[in-house]
Amino acid sequence: MSTGSARPVIGVLALQGDVREHVAALWAEGADPRPVRRPEELDGVHGVVVPGGESTTMARLAGRFGLLEPLRDAVRAGLPAYGTCAGMILLADRLLDAPPDQPTIGGLDATVRRNAFGRQVDSFESRVDLAGLDGGALHAVFIRAPWVEEAGPGVEVLGRVVGGPADGRIVAVRQGNVVATSFHPELTGDRRVHALFVDIVRGHLAERAGLDAGDERGLP
């Protein structure tokens, strides 16, 4: 994995969903985004975005294209990952209201409820305060969105719904290099979550570069 690029290479899983919008947001925040459809296209990426879509279809296509296991291995090994909506479902270790055989990439110690906010007609927009982001609340778009039913002890809750029947529901989380949101920031023009993820990728690269330098000097 090369760390010399000024623009970290971030793959966008391009099986379904708002791929073009994620690519545009990542490029604007200083990354070099690349669509990923096949296992060999994961080579050289420094992070990966799993966009929204239909989670069962995306999981099936990822398996068909031979991407599921390489993605699992990469995220387990520390590759930064960001999932939106269906991406949150695919990064979760446990699911509710999903087909019993639906596979996930995993990496997020959380139980995620699929389609928790209802069907397509129940899609809505709201304001969400995200911990660690300056500039006030985000304008959040929820489309057949999940929520985090239960977060593990190592998972930081970044944002919750405020008001309404879903008050207090968790809609944004982070665990180490893995970030997930129930909503779609790529659709609003507010790139702060993408900027956060690019910073996480850069931090991971800097950490890896430090470890590699230590190895070269024979440090423990």
139 is catalytic: no
2, part of any domain:
no
Catalytic residue among 186, 194, 204, 207: 186
Q: How confident is the model at residue 4 (pLDDT cuts 50, 70, 90)?
A: very low
Residue 213: the pLDDT is 61
Does residue 171 fall inside a structural domain?
A: yes
Is 103 a domain residue?
yes
pLDDT, mean of residues 7-26: 96
Average pLDDT of the segment spanning 72-94:
97
Q: Which domain holds residue 203?
A: 9-216
CATH number at residue 199: 3.40.50.880
Judged by DSSP in three states, 144 sits in: coil
Residue 212 has pLDDT above 80, yes or no: no
* Residues whose CB falls within 8 Å of the CB of residue 69, separated by 6 or more in sequence, listed in order: none
Tell me how far apart the alpha carbons of residues 59 and 65 are, in angstroms, rounded to a whole number: 10
179-191 burial, b for 16+ CB within 10 Å, e for fewer?
bbbbbbbbbbebb
Rounded distance between C-alpha atoms, residue 217 and residue 70, angstroms: 31
Name the residue with higher pLDDT: 161 or 74: 74
Task: Single out the catalytic residue among 22, 46, 184, 194.
Answer: 184
Total domains in the chain come to: 1
Query: Can you give the pTM of this predicted structure?
Result: 0.92
Q: Kindly state whether residue 4 falls inside one of the protein's structural domains.
A: no
Catalytic status, residue 184: yes
Q: How many CA atoms lie within 13 A of 15 on its CB side?
A: 28
Give the helix, strand, coil percentages of the chain, each rounded to 5.
30, 25, 40
Is position 216 annotated as part of the catalytic site? no
What is residue 109's predicted lDDT score, i.e. its pLDDT? 98
Tell me how far apart the alpha carbons of residues 151 and 143 are, in angstroms, rounded to a whole number.
Answer: 21
Report the SS3 class of residue 219.
coil
**Whether 179 contacts 171, CB under 8 Å:** no
